[in-house]
Every structure is written in structure tokens, then in C-alpha cells.
Structure 1
Amino acid sequence: MNPTNTPAGKYVRVEHVALRGVVSASPKTEIRNQDLTDRFSPELIEEIGKMTGVRTRRVATEEQTTSDLSEAAARALMADLGWEPDSVDAIVFVSQTPDYRLPATACALQSRLGLGTHCAAFDVNLGCSGYVYGLWLASKLIDGHAVRRVLLLAGDTSSKLVDPQDRATALLFGDAGTATALEFDATASPTSYVLGTDGRGEKNLIIPKSTYRGACGAGDLPESNPDYLYMNGPEVFNFTIRSVPMMVNAVLEASGKSVNGIGCALFHQANAFMLKHIAKKLKLPAEKFPLNIDRFGNTSSATIPLLMATLDDKAPLAGDVVMAGFGVGYSWAAAHLSLNTMTVCRWIEV
């Protein structure tokens, strides 16, 4: 089927791709909000906790990178599925916290995982929408018959990007790395995607002093440290409330489904207040709209697979589901897919 433009974004349908498994890896170090009373007052911590929903987060050590977490997840997933390293045809690494400016972290992971030299490997620089975009990219490689097996590694160590004194971000972001296995399967149910971008939101989630542009774009931002992540919370909230319900409704309509016809909705864990507002607009019952932001915070591109791996029977992780990623860019992506082919879904600590 040819792609179709909709008011919510581009609709794309993918055939013959089975999601075989997901493993998500979190650092062992756990930080509680109340551990930060040396920086913020107890009253402020409680206020922010109520708004964001975050109570604890997992934070990488100084030496621990996103690739370390994703590598551990990939090793566990390949072992669980019985995938030989030489059987993997491509590796896609989605992250905004790579190991280096160059080379691509996916290339290093190809070597560290012992994958064959025939394996294609590349990085994708996306955050909040990154997992769903990664699923689409990996699936199109398979649907186009370029490859048969793909490892999608998505994650971020966003805690390394935030100003420890910034109340808007210091209590919000956690770290995680994930691995998802996708494979050609002629009998697999089709997957529908809606994808979109509005780059006018560029400066509402940004590290102003980055790579080559320097801090040139920071002049019209409120006073903040340009070396750290800046977030315009109200503008991001407005974008999310405006865009996400339309995107989810579009992917359901394109799939011929309704909210009642899905097992659960797996959304990027951005902010609990915002997510509950979206669920209300979509008329999603609580049992179909799981959250884990209270335990892990916002882990950027890792939130959806981390949510899948930590549901603990809180929602039916089978049959048809809707996924939605949205945020930095602005960038957004939703998917309607079947999880009936998934045989592995678990969480590990590293």
C-alpha cells in the first residue's frame, strides 16, 4: 500500500514483520525524589512528583553508557530467542546519547555482539518518538526484503544531559537501554503507522550548546546553562495535548479499529498528568493505559519497550496494541500492531 498523508501525519502500512521479543535493561542505581533534598525543598519535590508522577528513577553510573545497557539487553534477548549472532542482518541504534560523535554506536555494537560483517548497522538520532520510528524503519527493511532479522536497540542515558539544579528536568529523567527482535514472517499481521514532524518546536526541547552550531540558538531562550537540556514544559504540554489524540485516532481509523478493540495503549512515559489527560480525551480506561513513570521516570526512546517489559500483569500484553511516541523535535509516531508473535518480554538490571 502506498503511503497516505493525513492531518495527523503520514500513514504507512507494513506487511510480513513479526515482533519476536523485547528485553529492557535498567541501571541498578535507583534514585528517589526524597534523596534530592540537598538541592530542592521537600515541598517542591512533592509538588513536582505529583505533576510528573515520578517517584524513583534508575540512573547510569558515570562509566555506564546507553550502548552498555542496550548491549546487555540484546545479549539476553538473543539468548532467549536462540538467535545466532550470524543470523542478524541489521542493527538499528536509536538514541540521543551515543557513545561518540563518530563512529556510529551501532557499528561498535555490531562488533561487541559478535554479529557478522554482512550486518548493516546505523544510528538514528531521535528521542521521545524514537522507538516507534525505529520499529517502522526496521520493519520497512524487512518488508522490502532487504533483510530477514533486525535488532532494534533503543535507549538513552538522559540523566547525563540534565542540569542537576534544574527543577524542570532533574527530577524527571531516568536511563534505560532496550532490545527488540523483528523478523520476516509471511503470516504476520500487518502493522499500521502514522508519523509526523513539526520542526517549529525545535527549541522547546534542546541542548543549545551542541556539536557545531554552538550556543548560537540560545539567545532567545530563558536564562539556563546551554550545556544542559532545556525544556519549555508548557509548550511541550500544548503540543502533546494537541497532537497525540489526533495521531492515535488516525492510526486506529486507518487500521479499522477502535479503542475498545485493542488490548492496551503503550505511550511514551513523558509526564503522568499529561498522559492521564490524553487518556481521558481518548476515552481509554485505566486498565488499558498502563504507566510506569513512577518507577523509572522519563527514559526517552526507551519508555515504550521498558513499559512492555515491566507491566507485571497490569495490562494484557497480547493481541492488538497501540504505541505512541511524541516529543523532542517536535516528532511523533504511532503504531497499531499485533503482539501475538512475541515470545520474550522481560526486564533486567545491569
Structure 2
Amino acid sequence: MSANHFEDVRVVNNVRVEGVACSMPEKVCEVSDLAGKFGEENIQKIMASTGVFRRHVVDGECSSDLCVAAAERLIEDLAVDRASIDTLIFVSQTHDHTLPATACILQERLKLSVGVAAFDVALGCSGYVYGLWLASSLIAGGGSRRVMLLVGDTISKIVSEEDRSVAALFGDAGSATLLQYDETAQPMSFVLGTDGRGAKNLIVPAGGFRDRSGSASEISEPELRGPFDLFMNGAEIFAFTLARVPSLVKALHESRQDMGLAIDHYVFHQANKFMLEHLAKRMKLPREKVLLDLENVGNTSCTSIPLALSLAGLEQDNRVTGLMMLAGFGVGYSWAGCIIDYDKVWVSPMTYTGVSKEPV
């Protein structure tokens, strides 16, 4: 594979997505409530641009709690034998601890076999598609037979309430996706890429081992954002997205031309309304095929793709069928896209941490 062309397509065979479940916190924060802090006119502009009107945010829960709720729902709905799950992957930027790996804790909480392979992956906006690629590659290579992929973030915990660029944008959610070996499954096509030159444009500078005390941060602003808070350079993120995503989508389209198949739905990382609508227009994608579902949940980082799919109302009898293009892009810089044939994939009703009710 060439080192300079991120458009290279990686194909994985003999893997089927069995089901998807998502979970959100019960607590809801209205964006309009921030008008007293940032001004009514500014908040109206933010809502119009981002498309976010309210967000579900944790009230003490961690990403792992949200993922456990989703996983338990999926296991129950599909009557999964826990002993059949041989691999557990946890994708998140908001882990429970510096160590041990949260996946180890999740193995015990979900009562999976001690023979399960469990590990963490630290990725954000592209994390769900990267997780699908990693899980499906393990299965296709014979190293695993059934993988539980848990993807979740609680970004609200690292956002300064005084930072207008992010305070009204991020929500929290968790997801569970079950994949297994199936020699009759249609091939999955993946495009993956990384450009670490953009790392500084979406970052929490302190708290890791590079700067544990927060003393060396260069992007802190008094009374706005501290070294342990999320910093986002929105203009640079937008420019990166416009530069990378169209080529990613083009490569995936070209990879499936020989099969004569049309994409039924495009499920992109739910960054913000303006960005997604601009991308759809620029790439001349049918607007009705591009899922957009930020209004009641916000940008939920690595969980946004499965969450958008779960909220879209595409399923009949809790099952979704169709050819899906998924694409995540952002923090890192990192990007990942795939085409997956959803063959009656189970989608569980939304679960709320601590409360069971219908979605907002």
C-alpha cells in the first residue's frame, strides 16, 4: 500500500454486522439556556449553524456506563450467549482511568469469558469506523469469531462552560455493535487515514504524561478555557474536512462501481449541520440520503455515527437493510470511511442511563 495516497481501499470479507444499540444519559441541557451567558443573538446563530438545540449530558456517568447500558440491551434483544463473544474493543477518548484499560473493567461488568481479548482504542470522530475495521479485520483474519465493539464518549466532561466555540455543541452517548463471521456476507470496503500535523487544532493539552500539571499549555485563556479543557480551532477543522472527506467518499464510490450498487444512506460523523450540508452539496450527494440528526443530541464524538443510524427511523421491525456509507473525520487529524451492506441488521430502541423511555 502506498504511503502517500490515503484513497487506498482496504477490503474485508466474511464479516456481518449483527446488531447495534445506543445509550444516552437522561439529563438534557437546552442550548437556549446559554443565552444568559453568551447573549440571545449569539445563541440563535450557534443553533442555526450547528443545528443543535439540546444535548444529553452525563450527570456523573462515564463513557463505560453508557456502553454497558447499550451492550446489555443488545445482548438481551439478540439473546446473545456471552460465552460466544471472544473479543471486546472499547473505543473512546474519555476512559475511566489512566490505567487499567477500561475494556478490562467492561469484561467483568458484562460478565464475559475470562478468555476474551479486551483492549482500548483511543480515537474520536473517526473512532467508530476504525473500530469496525479493526473488529472485522480480526474476524476475517481468523483471530476472532464474534466481536463486541463498544464506542462512547462523554466530551461534556472536558468542555469549558465559558468557551462559546464548544459549550453548546457536544453531547454524550455510548454504543454497542456486534459483529461475527459469516462467509455469505458482502465485502466491506474501508478507507483510512491520518495526518498528525493537525493534532494541535482539536486537543486537551494537559492531563496526559506530556503535561500532567497543566503548567506548559499555550492555548489556555483566562476565564475562558483551562489546560484541561477541550480546545477546538473550528476554522482549521472545517478546512481539513473539506480537503479530505470528498476524496474519501470518491474512493469508496469507485471501489464499488464494479458491483453496480448505489448507496442507500450516507451516515457521516455528526459534526455540525452547516458542515454536513456543505459537504453534501459539494459532493452532489442526494440530500435525502444524507442522515442529519444533531438537533436533540449534539455532536457525540465517536458515537455520532451509530447514534444517527439509531435515531434515523430507517428500521422496520427493529431491523435496517441497505447499503450504507459511514464516514468519520476530525480529531487527530484522523479519518475513516466504509461501505457496509446492512442485511437486516438489528437496531435496538434507545436506552437511557437509569431510565427507560422513548427517545426525544
The interval holding the TM-score normalised by the smaller chain is over 0.9
Q: How far 1:299 moved relative to its partner?
A: 0.4
Instruction: Determine if the alignment matches structure 1 residue 25 to structure 2 residue 23.
Output: yes
- How many angstroms apart in 1 are the aligned matches of 2:45 and 2:129? 31
Partner of 1:228: 229
Instruction: Determine if the alignment matches structure 1 residue 342 to structure 2 residue 345.
Output: yes
- How many angstroms apart in 2 are the aligned matches of 1:254 and 1:339? 17
Identical amino acids, percent of aligned pairs: 46
Q: How far 1:221 moved relative to its partner?
A: 7.2
Task: Tell me if structure 2 keeps the 8 A contact 1:324–1:333.
Answer: yes
Equivalent residue runs for 1:207-218 within 5 Å: 207-214=204-211, 215=214, 218=217
Task: Tell me if structure 2 keeps the 8 A contact 1:150–1:181.
Answer: yes
Q: How far 1:82 moved relative to its partner?
A: 1.1
- How many angstroms apart in 1 are the aligned matches of 2:107 and 2:63? 15
Partner of 1:67: 64
Partner of 1:332: 335
Cα distance change, pair 77–243 in 1 and its aligned pair in 2 (3 A): same
Instruction: Determine if the alignment matches structure 1 residue 302 to structure 2 residue 303.
Output: yes
Structure 2 counterpart SS, 1:50: helix
Q: How far 1:171 moved relative to its partner?
A: 0.3
Partner of 1:319: 322
Q: How far 1:317 moved relative to its partner?
A: 4.5
- How many angstroms apart in 2 are the aligned matches of 1:46 and 1:261? 37
Partner of 1:108: 105
RMSD: 2.0
Equivalent residue runs for 1:251-262 within 5 Å: 251-256=252-257, 261-262=262-263
Q: State which drifts further: 215-224 or 294-303.
A: 215-224
Instruction: Determine if the alignment matches structure 1 residue 197 to structure 2 residue 222.
Output: no
CA deviation vs aligned residue, 1:142-172 (integer Å, no higher than 9, x gap) = 0011111000000100000100000000000
Equivalent residue runs for 1:128-167 within 5 Å: 128-167=125-164
CA deviation vs aligned residue, 1:226-259 (integer Å, no higher than 9, x gap) = 1100000000000001110111111121222799
Structure 1 unaligned spans of 5+: none
- How many angstroms apart in 2 are the aligned matches of 1:236 and 1:257? 33
Task: Tell me if structure 1 keeps the 8 A contact 2:315–2:321.
Answer: no
Q: State which drifts further: 6-15 or 67-76.
A: 6-15
- How many angstroms apart in 1 are the aligned matches of 2:226 and 2:258? 46
Task: Tell me if structure 2 keeps the 8 A contact 1:19–1:339.
Answer: yes
Task: Tell me if structure 2 keeps the 8 A contact 1:269–1:293.
Answer: yes
Q: How far 1:294 moved relative to its partner?
A: 1.2
Partner of 2:274: 273
Q: State which drifts further: 193-202 or 259-268.
A: 259-268
Task: Tell me if structure 2 keeps the 8 A contact 1:154–1:179.
Answer: yes
Instruction: Determine if the alignment matches structure 1 residue 123 to structure 2 residue 115.
Output: no
Instruction: Determine if the alignment matches structure 1 residue 34 to structure 2 residue 4.
Output: no
Partner of 2:290: 289
Q: How far 1:342 moved relative to its partner?
A: 1.0
Equivalent residue runs for 1:27-106 within 5 Å: 27-61=25-59, 63-106=60-103
- How many angstroms apart in 1 are the aligned matches of 2:132 and 2:116? 18
Cα distance change, pair 249–158 in 1 and its aligned pair in 2 (3 A): same
Cα distance change, pair 265–152 in 1 and its aligned pair in 2 (3 A): same
Q: How far 1:36 moved relative to its partner?
A: 2.0
Q: How far 1:42 moved relative to its partner?
A: 1.1
Task: Tell me if structure 1 keeps the 8 A contact 2:204–2:228.
Answer: yes
Would you say how many aligned residue pairs link Structure 1 and Structure 2?
A: 347
Instruction: Determine if the alignment matches structure 1 residue 179 to structure 2 residue 176.
Output: yes
Structure 2 unaligned spans of 5+: 354-360
Task: Tell me if structure 2 keeps the 8 A contact 1:151–1:180.
Answer: yes
Partner of 1:242: 243
- How many angstroms apart in 2 are the aligned matches of 1:78 and 1:143? 22
Q: TM-score, normalised by structure 1?
A: 0.94
Structure 2 counterpart SS, 1:296: coil
- How many angstroms apart in 1 are the aligned matches of 2:148 and 2:304? 17
Structure 2 counterpart SS, 1:46: helix
Q: How far 1:346 moved relative to its partner?
A: 3.1
